[in-house]
Chains A and B, each alone.
Chain A
Amino acid sequence: MFKKATLMFLYTETSLHAGSGTSLGVVDLPIQREKYTDFPVIQASGLKGAVREWFEFRSTDSADRRKIELAFGPDKIGSEESGFAAAVSFTDARILLFPVRSLKGIFAYCTSPTALERFRRDAQIAGVSIDWTIPRPPDDRTVLGVREGCDVAADDQVLLEEYAFGFQGKEEVTSIAKWLSQEAFPDRGEYAFWREKVKKSLLVLPDNAFRDFVKLSTEVQARIKIDNDKRTVVKGGLFYEEALLPDSLLYSVVLAHDPVKDDRAELADSPAVLAFLRGIDGQRLQLGGDATIGRGIVSVRFHGQGKQPKPGKEEQGNG
């Protein structure tokens, strides 16, 4: 059983294709989704592999490599090292904020009561207590936004993609937006603008509307295979690939155990494992497929200690 846990937030900077294989649906290469909600998800195995790779690229000596083996498990099964479990576990990365095109304010960070309630429950696993309450839209035609200074609403109306919604400002949404801005968004300088943006553009959608957007408003790209001799498309070489949009926010619960192998010199216990893992806090990571066409760059932010919130000077230029 795990001893220490925390939240790892993933903010996508480019389109992310965590693929689920082939499908019979509209898109040939769809992204991974949860069976019962249809929300986009990044399966834990892919996430763990990508985090491991990040550490492996940076390992310089055998002590580093030993820590990686203790934290993530042995690389080769079949050697004498075979058969011990990793000291760190990840849960599937779930969606918290999904960007949707807005007539005003370019795009809105959208979430829903169900997404927020699940986040609250998952945060509890990580020992993070959430002090905000989650408001409920009154019906399927109304979205809730921040009380003051919402930049996506005009005259009590919000136009998301081509769908119109009524708008209500709520104090609860303001609290959630502030919390996300401080605790979940990457805290580096280049995120000053985005930490402000979420305080203006956060919308709590009715659950049904949110589900429809995460289903229908992902990115669908047509891709082709070229015949090198004819310089034309190969017959049957057109395919559609789905991707999660940039400016989405996901999170995973990171659970640390005491390493199975008693190797006190390297990683003594679960706090040491978590401290080791925090090496990736504030860094960029490549997740999912199509790395060579720029997909899957995410910013990683751990919740809690080690963060340096920079209040005050948030309006600095980011050029």
Chain B
Amino acid sequence: MVWAIGGADAQPGRVHQQIAQLWSEENPDTPIRIEVLPEDADGQREQHALELQAEGSGFDVLGVDVIWTGEYSENGWVESLEDVRADIEAVTLPGPFNSATWGDELWAAPYNSNAGFLYYRTDLVDEPPTTWEELCEVGAEVGAEEGIAGFVAQGAQYEGFVVNWLEYYWSTGADLFNEDESAVTFDVDAAVEVTEWMNDSLGDCFAPGFNTAQEEEARNEFQAGNAVFMRNWPYAYGQIQDDEGSPANGNFDIAPLPTFTGTGTISALGGFNNAVSAYSNNTEAATDFVVWAATDPEVQTLLAEESLPPTMASVYDDLAGDPVMSLLGEVLADSLPRPPSPAWNEISVEMQRALFPAYNGDADAQSAAESVREYLESTIQ
């Protein structure tokens, strides 16, 4: 069998490879092999699309980003997993489980989850900030004293920018759609406020090169000791901790992301689910594999050990003493999914097209926000 999943070689400890090996040892009749897809989500989706559009049976198990569920099921690319729903639902966290459903039907088995953390330098800052304004004030001030930047995050024009922007936007209390995605609740004023705040922070609290940075550029900056704060996924924790030459090593901690309201935390839910390709010739074994990966404590603990957040609730209880896992449990409870609409990719591209130039000062924030609202409305009519 072939498991087409992204970034398999870039994962800490090559954890996907470890899991594939574990399965192949236990099931010598139906071994699984990883087809390594690109590291970035857009690239992975393209590879899937090319194979599935041609109805190719080359991929049996698909590593599906949480936002693709709607699209893949609408396209008939994945098998329904309703038959094994009970097994999976019983052990999985509710957020990740919902991300694998579309139209009340289960289309994938949760595999790993993800949420954003605020990384901060404990030798430079006593307490992590609770609001974004405070983060930028402290960041700019401490950064100027130390001759380093205030804040690094994912500010390049790609899906990660939309994730970061939504975390700011959601943390004002606003949302994109109502509960069942039947009406647009996009708040133009909040969007303008957030976008203008980003523009003001450019060149001040935001690190140089903020608008070309993805996950790895941000991590490199923070790990090299060039920033006070960083927004990133949990994977960075282990990497900085393992790098003994890093100025941040031993001098950093993680906290929930700040908000604009000053209360609680909001993170965009990330992660991958495993789906069975509708064109697979090994549907049965593939289904067994995805269920196993979602429900086997050994697999899920292996993910946790490599700082890739598992989706199995009991693993968080077992690892309550681990600082990353216990904070993750908290943050995941307050995380919000991007709308799992089949139109999500179009929405994301439109948001990038409108908001990215606005935050860089190349376009007007008001008209950018209005065009996003218009586009969202066009997707539900």
Is B a genuine binding partner of A? Answer: no
Residues of B with Cβ closer than 8 Å to A? none
